[in-house]
Amino acid sequence: MKQIAVFASGSGSNAEHLAVTFAKGNRARVAAIYCNNPKAYVIQRAAKLNIPLVLFTRAEFADAESLIRDLQARQIDLIVLAGFLWLVPETLTRAFAGRLVNIHPALLPKFGGKGMYGMAVHKAVLDAGEKESGITIHLIDEVYDRGKTLLQVKCPVLPDDTPESLAERVHQLEYSHFPGAIEKML
Ligand code: GAR
């Protein structure tokens, strides 16, 4: 059984969807959820799902040594960033090279980079008048949203879309494709 660690900063609906999906099989499981935000709703989701929650500060993340020890102690095979806000430090990208994956709610390389998180991404897509958006699942390296692309899936942007309606369409794509993309990596 492969051990997955999910990093999340906010609501954590992807974290929950991954945990529930993998719990149905015997190939992998979400062994822990890591969070940088003590107010994030994902903390309540972790409690409900009975999944260990590791909360860390910016300093602990930047140094990464104690986090890496924790990840190793849990025998984590793959780190999944699902709505995680901070740039991953090189110590961590090196320790988990090729085993660190992110989901981005747009078609990279457009609408990526610093500050491009969650609703800000959908607003930017609408402001730019794009006709389509989608998801990008990619490996993580030291630069925001620039690692090797594993999968992109598109969806239309509709004339009357709001950031919320577009976010909902993109979230549905994430739920449909993220577990399978992770399964492939495992
Ligand atoms: C997801 O749409 C994810 O793609 C996005 O944040 C949302 C988190 O939703 N990630 C980024 O924007 C990363 N740059 P969730 O907390 O409900 O899973």
Q: Assess whether the C-beta atom of 134 lies below 6 angstroms from ligand 1.
A: no
Q: Assess whether the C-beta atom of 179 lies below 6 angstroms from ligand 1.
A: no
Q: Does domain 2-185 have CATH number 3.40.50.170?
A: yes
Q: Assess whether the C-beta atom of 11 lies below 6 angstroms from ligand 1.
A: yes
133-163: b or e for each residue (b if 16 or more CB lie within 10 Å)?
bbbbbbbbbeebbebeebbebeeebeeebeb
122 is catalytic: no
Q: How many CB atoms lie within 10 A of CB 120?
A: 13
Select from 49, 30, 50, 46 the least CA-distant residue to 38.
Answer: 46
How much is the pLDDT for 89?
93
How much is the pLDDT for 10?
96
Among positive and negative, which fits the CA dihedral 66, 68, 69, 70?
positive
| Domain boundary assignment for the chain | 2-185
pTM score > 0.75 for this model?
A: yes
Closest residue CA from atom 2 of ligand 1: 105
How much is the pLDDT for 174?
98
How much is the pLDDT for 145?
57
Q: DSSP for 76-138, please give it.
A: --EEEESS--SPPPHHHHHHTTT-EEEEESS-TTTT-STT--THHHHHHHHHTT-SEEEEEEE
Residues in the chain: 186
Which of helix, strand or coil describes residue 72?
A: helix
How much is the pLDDT for 146?
66
How much is the pLDDT for 118?
87
Select from 75, 72, 67 the least CA-distant residue to 36.
Answer: 67
* Rg, C-alpha atoms of the chain: 16
Closest residue CA from atom 3 of ligand 1: 83
Name the residue with tokens 């051990």: 3
Which residues of the chain, if any, have pLDDT below 50? none
Q: Assess whether the C-beta atom of 104 lies below 6 angstroms from ligand 1.
A: yes
Closest residue CA from atom 6 of ligand 1: 83
